[in-house]
Amino acid sequence: EKGGYEHFMLKEIHEQPKAYRDTMRGRTNAEGNKVILPELNLTEEQIKNIRNIQIVACGTAYNAGLVGRNLIESLVRIPVENDIASEYRYRSPIVTPETLVIVVSQSGETADTLAALREGQANGAHVLAITNVVGSSIAREANSVLVTLAGPEIAVASTKAYTSQLIAFTLLGLYLAEVRDTQSEPEVAKILAAMQSLPEQVEVILAQKDAIKAYAEQIAEHHHLFFIGRGVDYAVAQEGSLKLKEISYIHSEAYAAGELKHGTLALIEEGVPVIALATQESVLEKTVSNIKEVKARGAHVLAVTHEEHKNDLLRSVDEVFVIPQTLPLLTSALSVVTLQLLAYYASLALGHDVDKPRNLAKSVTVE
């Protein structure tokens, strides 16, 4: 059942190229310059009238929503808020019929996310569910459903569901951009072509697993560490940190790279591992200055970046993992795979039950 892999998590990490392809399949036109999403169940007019978007979810699905916000705001220029589902309805969110509420849930059964869906509907919003389970409670109650086709996810730590959610958000962003005319056809075609390469690029990262394992064995000796990044790299840092905590029980924090010096820098001391995501060319220099701040305090820094920046970064960091070249908008679908493997091998090195971490359940049906 584990298809020759030692754990479901490792199997599911390796299923990501297929999950990307399956989630994209049939959702573009033959020319490859348009996204087709009839399941959104929204008229052109409704889409043009959207004033704001709220993405509501828990845990890893919430983290996918952080990337989703980045994608939608860049592609469509609609303001997006991210909400943790257990907070959403208690903060009296400002929802109108022109709000699109997007709930994200692998299982489709998370109690708080379901309650958020009902809160959105009670205020007259259209609620779109991004879920991996077609017959789930969330899928049944939502106004429309964008299914991720990751296949069943067994390991408690979500991997392929998260990355399929990223693919779904990208398709959604492109579709909204078409209808609202915020991206040109050639631009959409360029992004879709780059998306087609993601599955084989994930394979390239999977092939680096020995190096990632060796680094994971080093960090397994530490009690806490940091993930830093800017923009979408910060969103991915949050997922990397959650994954590591959840299965290796090593404490970590994800920080917006520029925010460290406002307090948390006090925790950096000799030898503390800092994993810096540095995939965004537009803020690379800024991230490098933040890397220098932690290096100067003795941190041991690993950077995750593109090949073209490797040599540059090696001047300021201790180690570099490279991800294949893609558009800045799409790096999350690659960089997170490195962090998933890191969490996996750290957990393995510490002898934990990778697929069934303590205190956690796959589906959380209590509020």
Q: Which residues bind ligand F6R (CB under 6 A)?
A: 58-61, 105-107, 110, 113, 157-158, 246, 363-364
Handedness of CA 304, 193, 286, 253 (dihedral sign): negative
d(CA 225, CA 240): 11
- Give the shortest CB-110-to-ligand F6R separation in angstroms: 3
- Give the shortest CB-9-to-ligand F6R separation in angstroms: 9
- Give the shortest CB-71-to-ligand F6R separation in angstroms: 18
Instruction: Return the percent helix, strand and coil in the chain, to nearest 5.
Output: 50, 15, 30
Q: Give the residue with the Cβ less far from ligand F6R, 105 or 279.
A: 105
Is residue 362 flagged as an active site residue?
A: yes
- Give the shortest CB-174-to-ligand F6R separation in angstroms: 23
- Give the shortest CB-363-to-ligand F6R separation in angstroms: 6
- Give the shortest CB-171-to-ligand F6R separation in angstroms: 18
Q: Give the residue with the Cβ less far from ligand F6R, 65 or 273.
A: 65
- Cross-strand bridge partners of residue 306: 323
Out of 34, 213, 295, 362, the active site residue is: 362
| DSSP structural state of residue 352 | -
Q: Give the residue with the Cβ less far from ligand F6R, 75 or 117.
A: 117
Q: What residues contact residue 182 under an 8 Å CB cut-off, 6+ apart?
A: 75, 76, 77, 176
d(CA 304, CA 276): 6
3-state class of 108 per DSSP? Answer: coil
d(CA 112, CA 85): 5
Q: Give the residue with the Cβ less far from ligand F6R, 50 or 115.
A: 115
Q: Give the residue with the Cβ less far from ligand F6R, 245 or 292.
A: 245
On whether the CB atoms of residues 21 and 202 are closer than 8 A, the answer is no
- Closest chain position to ligand F6R (CB): 59
- Give the shortest CB-120-to-ligand F6R separation in angstroms: 15
Cα Rg, the chain, nearest whole Å: 20
Q: Give the residue with the Cβ less far from ligand F6R, 56 or 75.
A: 56
Q: Give the residue with the Cβ less far from ligand F6R, 28 or 340.
A: 340
| Angle 133-329-172 from CA coordinates, rounded to 5° | 40
Phi, psi (deg, nearest 5) at residue 166: -65, -40
d(CA 3, CA 89): 42
Q: What residues contact residue 323 under an 8 Å CB cut-off, 6+ apart?
A: 201, 205, 279, 304, 305, 306, 331, 334, 335, 338
Token output for 87: 């907070």
Residues marked active site are found at: 362
